[in-house]
Amino acid sequence: MISQQQIDQLVADRTAFVLFGPTASGKTALAIELAQLLKSEIINIDSRQLYQEMPIISAMPTAEEFAQAPHHLYEFLKPDQSFDVMQYLSKVKEKTADLWQRGCLPIFVGGTGFYIKTLQEGMSPVPAVSFDVIEIYNKKVEDLGIAYFYEKLQEVDPTWAAQIEPTDKQRIIRGLAVHEKSGKPISYWQSLPQEGALNASFINIALQPERSILYNRINKRYEGMIETGLVAEMASLKAKGYSKDLPALTSIGIPEYFACLEQDGDLQQAHEQVATKQRQYAKRQLTWLRNQFNSDIMLETPNIEDLISQLEELIIKKNKG
């Protein structure tokens, strides 16, 4: 068991846990158990769970789970609120400073690799672009086609254009919008030193289930989503008239259900499409975990005893070092 003295030293070292794993791997329950044992608090690092009005499709912790440990940065944005990763980091820095001051350890939990990488490494100072500007480009793309704008991007930023697919609407538009705003290509901004990372001593915990087990968990959870009102949630969200191009509404499941509801399509087919995309997303998350997440602790199952055992060994090793 981790002693209070060891916890105090971790706090003094500005330690922060980062628990990453693919969707449906059991991160939420494991994080709660860890928070209870270490008297710590959980900070969301899943970009989908920042938003209100879509708890089922985003696999938001339940009310019961929220009650078992303090949780931060969940469901505080409306779907049409503009919010980027640098704003997220600003809130994180305020929250972690408060936790360390109170003698608590932050536990970051989520499956958004980009947010984790930025938290730990920072990012290049690319100018932010408002959603209104992005929306104007989206409407132009509908009229003129994405190929026209990819050619425009090749003219103003051939370096960035060569790095992305000619059909990647989101990145094409972002490249053009950044150039329009700043007068410089996005590749220039990305060449600058990264900034904004959280000043912390990170302990990275990777949750990597065997693939067949993970896919079974995904399928079971998705069936539960449908049973608890997923379609009604999507219909309610669509009825509020939000633009389908909002970043909050581009995550897996929402575009598929919006299209199905608009066209009075086959719900069963939509269910199958979303289930397939969730498994594909989990596969991408596992690839990111193996290639970009420098884990200190690796778990095949969300087992708290195994986690604590490895954590004790890690603390002993660090103290000897």
What is the C-alpha separation between 145 and 153, in angstroms, rounded? 13
pTM: 0.89
How far apart are alpha carbons 74 and 85 in whole angstroms?
Answer: 14
For residue 4, pLDDT beyond 70: yes
Which pLDDT score, from 0 to 100, does residue 150 have?
A: 97
pLDDT score for 82: 86
| Residue-level pLDDT at 155 | 97
What is the gyration radius of the CA atoms in the chain, in angstroms? 21
Task: Quote the mean pLDDT of the chain.
Answer: 95
Looking at the predicted structure, is the pLDDT value of residue 261 above 80?
A: yes
pLDDT at position 107 is 98
Spell out the residues 6+ positions from residue 216 whose beta carbon is closer than 8 angstroms to its own. Answer: none
Tokens of 235: 């219909």
All domains of the chain, ordered by start, with CATH? 4-123+195-320 (3.40.50.300), 131-190 (1.10.20.140)
* Per-residue tokens: 237: 């969200």
Confidence of residue 77 (pLDDT cuts 50, 70, 90): very high
The predicted-structure confidence for 194-231, as pLDDT tens digits, reads as follows 999 999 999 999 999 999 999 999 999 999 999 999 99
What pLDDT, on a 0 to 100 scale, did the predictor assign at position 321? 63
Task: Note the pLDDT tens digit of each residue in 105-133.
Answer: 999 999 999 999 999 999 999 998 888 89
